């Protein structure tokens, strides 16, 4: 039986999922996003060009491959069509190979106002949301108030839209959030809403599908499917560093619920992680380097958010967190990203355990923000040289080999591939 392979992030997002999905796409027939929404920013670089995708699967640059936005994803049509415009500029024709689930929920302009209102109300405890309306849109989905892509074709869409918007505006009023000067992607609310409604009209011309039937049929027809995750395991609403998380499940299980495929049909799970750690937004980060080394990682890794441009917080690789993510996802193979960012370090540290209240543990505590967590580090020699991908995996610097062996030993999994730069070609397969 053909199985669905999964690529997902093992840290706090931005591991490089977009790049790897693009690199893997030639091996598959269908690429499907299963959760999250435009809070994601997946970067793909090739032939001197750079694209950042928010909603569209990262297989879209291969016109002969089908790309599906699954039912677990939430869609802002305005953002979707901005992405489509950048693809059109590059002479791609996503209308030919992009399919969208009718069951995917819509993010309304007023969800974005609500996101801002909730964040403002949280004050210092704010999540650092991307303000794309993710929390409020998933809230409406689970509260059974949501509007789905399939609903845009129905005669009562407009009245349902207005009713839901008005309920949001009442809440916004309750939160005393004054949005008169608040800009959504540079536009005042009314203008954003107008552009959003135009995008809804354009969405009607796309191929809207029952993605659960479609994908299961693909599998029956022996087509190969790659499921693309968004965010990362430590942002999972159930198992991440709650409440500093996103509002969806980001783990392998979400590929089943977000695409409508059974767990029996999951094949290889590829876990992606950076050779160090980053986090954007608020919340605990035990191995964070609030110092010159952290600044150096940010500079050489160009660690600025793909969606918001915010500087990302940087720190050392955290093995207890990595092993937790491997456990939750049933990872079979690891892919290590951004090894080039560590090229010029004399020493590299890896957190192998946490010291909590005088006791060593390799488990993540209930509250990762517990002030008494001190990471226990293992020090390794840096390779202090450039990784030359043209020479292949066997020729990488020996200290980098040691780093890989060290990670393989503590995780018990093989590192199948390493990435040494943002371009498609900067990839070393073992």
Q: Residue numbers of the site for ligand IMO (CB under 6 A)?
A: 9, 12-14, 39-42, 127-130, 132, 134-135, 230-232, 235, 246, 280-281, 306
The secondary structure of residue 183, as a DSSP letter, is E
Instruction: By CB under 5 A, tell whether 308 contacts Mg ion.
Output: no
Instruction: By CB under 6 A, tell whether 14 contacts ligand GDP.
Output: yes
14 among known catalytic residues: yes
DSSP letter for each residue of 82-121: HHHHHHHHTT--HHHHEEEETTPEEPPHHHHHHHHHHHHH
Binding to ligand GDP, residues 32-91 (CB under 6 A): 40-43, 45
Query: Shortest Cβ distance from residue 247 to ligand GDP (Å)?
Result: 17
Token pair in block for residue 26:
């030639």
The rounded distance, in Å, linking the Cα atoms of 307 and 324 is: 26
Instruction: By CB under 5 A, tell whether 14 contacts Mg ion.
Output: yes
Q: Which is nearer to ligand GDP, 23 or 364 (CB)?
A: 23
Query: Shortest Cβ distance from residue 283 to ligand IMO (Å)?
Result: 6
42 among known catalytic residues: yes
Instruction: By CB under 5 A, tell whether 303 contacts Mg ion.
Output: no
| Omega before 243 within 30 of 0, i.e. cis | yes
Binding to ligand GDP, residues 303-362 (CB under 6 A): 306, 337-338, 340-341
Token pair in block for residue 428:
């070393």
What's the alpha-carbon Rg for the chain, to the nearest Å? Answer: 21
Instruction: By CB under 6 A, tell whether 19 contacts ligand GDP.
Output: yes
Query: Shortest Cβ distance from residue 228 to Mg ion (Å)?
Result: 12
Query: Shortest Cβ distance from residue 396 to ligand GDP (Å)?
Result: 13
Instruction: By CB under 5 A, tell whether 41 contacts Mg ion.
Output: yes
The rounded distance, in Å, linking the Cα atoms of 224 and 222 is: 6
Q: Which is nearer to ligand IMO, 231 or 419 (CB)?
A: 231
In contact, 17 and 272? CB cutoff 8 Å: yes
* Look-up of token digits 């309304």: 108
Which residue of 16, 260, 320, 375 would you call a contact of ligand GDP, by CB under 6 A? Answer: 16
Token pair in block for residue 403:
């780093």
In contact, 234 and 260? CB cutoff 8 Å: no
Most distant CA pair in the chain, distance: 65
In contact, 101 and 68? CB cutoff 8 Å: yes
User: CB-based contacts of 384: which residues, under 8 Å, 6+ apart?
Assistant: 343, 344, 345, 346, 397, 399
The secondary structure of residue 36, as a DSSP letter, is B
User: What is the distance of C-alpha 106 from the center of its chain?
Assistant: 18
Query: Shortest Cβ distance from residue 40 to Mg ion (Å)?
Result: 6
Instruction: By CB under 6 A, tell whether 228 contacts ligand GDP.
Output: no
Size of the site for ligand GDP (CB under 6 A): 25
The rounded distance, in Å, linking the Cα atoms of 57 and 228 is: 7
The rounded distance, in Å, linking the Cα atoms of 278 and 251 is: 18
Query: Shortest Cβ distance from residue 405 to Mg ion (Å)?
Result: 29
Binding to Mg ion, residues 63-122 (CB under 5 A): none
Query: Shortest Cβ distance from residue 130 to ligand IMO (Å)?
Result: 3
Pairing of strands 225-228, 105-106: unpaired
Instruction: By CB under 5 A, tell whether 306 contacts Mg ion.
Output: yes
Q: Which is nearer to Mg ion, 22 or 193 (CB)?
A: 22
Q: Which is nearer to ligand IMO, 13 or 146 (CB)?
A: 13
The rounded distance, in Å, linking the Cα atoms of 103 and 105 is: 6
Tell me which residue has its CB nearest to ligand IMO: 281
- Select from ligand GDP, ligand IMO, Mg ion, none the partner in contact with residue 25, using the beta carbon and a kind-dependent cut-off of 5 to 8 Å: none
Annotated catalytic residue: which of 22, 42, 105, 236? 42
Q: Which is nearer to ligand IMO, 42 or 216 (CB)?
A: 42
Residues of this chain that interact with ligand GDP (CB under 6 A) are: 9, 13-19, 40-43, 45, 301-302, 306, 337-338, 340-341, 419-422, 426
Catalytic sites, residue numbers: 14, 42
């Amino acid at each position: 039986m053909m199985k669905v392979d999964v690529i997902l992030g093992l840290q706090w997002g931005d591991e490089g999922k977009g790049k790897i999905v693009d690199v893997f796409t030639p091996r598959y027939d269908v690429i499907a996003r299963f959760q999250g929404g435009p809070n994601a920013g997946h970067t793909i670089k090739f032939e001197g060009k750079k694209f950042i995708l928010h909603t569209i699967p990262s297989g879209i640059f291969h016109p002969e491959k089908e790309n599906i936005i699954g039912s677990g994803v939430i869609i802002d049509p305005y953002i979707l069509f901005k992405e489509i415009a950048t693809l059109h500029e590059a002479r791609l024709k996503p209308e030919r190979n992009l399919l969208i689930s009718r069951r995917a929920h819509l993010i309304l302009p007023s969800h974005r106002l609500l996101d801002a209102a909730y964040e403002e109300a949280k004050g210092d405890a704010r999540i650092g949301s991307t303000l794309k309306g993710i929390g409020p849109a998933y809230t409406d989905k689970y509260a059974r108030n949501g509007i789905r892509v399939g609903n845009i074709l129905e005669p009562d869409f407009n009245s349902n839209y207005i009713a839901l918007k008005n309920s949001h505006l009442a809440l916004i009023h309750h939160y005393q959030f004054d949005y008169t000067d608040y800009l959504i992607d540079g536009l005042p609310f009314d203008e954003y809403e107008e552009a959003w409604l135009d995008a809804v009209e354009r969405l009607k011309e796309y191929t809207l599908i029952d993605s659960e039937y479609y994908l299961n049929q693909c599998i029956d027809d022996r087509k190969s499917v790659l499921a693309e995750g968004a965010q990362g395991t430590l942002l999972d609403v159930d198992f991440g560093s709650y409440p500093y998380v996103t509002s969806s499940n980001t783990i392998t299980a979400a590929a089943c619920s977000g695409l409508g495929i059974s767990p029996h049909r999951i094949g290889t799970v590829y876990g992606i992680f950076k050779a160090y750690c980053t986090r954007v937004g608020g919340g605990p980060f035990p191995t964070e380097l609030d110092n010159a080394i952290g600044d150096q990682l940010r500079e050489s890794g160009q660690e600025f958010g793909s969606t918001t441009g915010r500087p990302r917080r940087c720190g050392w690789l955290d093995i207890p967190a990595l092993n937790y993510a491997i456990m939750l996802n049933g990872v079979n193979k690891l892919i290590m990203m951004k090894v080039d960012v560590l090229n010029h370090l004399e020493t590299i540290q890896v957190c192998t355990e946490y010291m909590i209240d005088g006791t060593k543990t390799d488990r993540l505590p209930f509250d990762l923000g517990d002030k008494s967590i001190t990471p226990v580090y293992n020090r390794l020699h840096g390779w202090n040289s450039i990784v030359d991908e043209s020479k292949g995996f066997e020729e990488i610097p020996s200290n980098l080999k040691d780093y890989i062996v060290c990670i393989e030993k503590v995780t018990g999994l093989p590192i199948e591939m390493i990435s040494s730069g943002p371009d498609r070609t900067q990839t070393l397969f073992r």
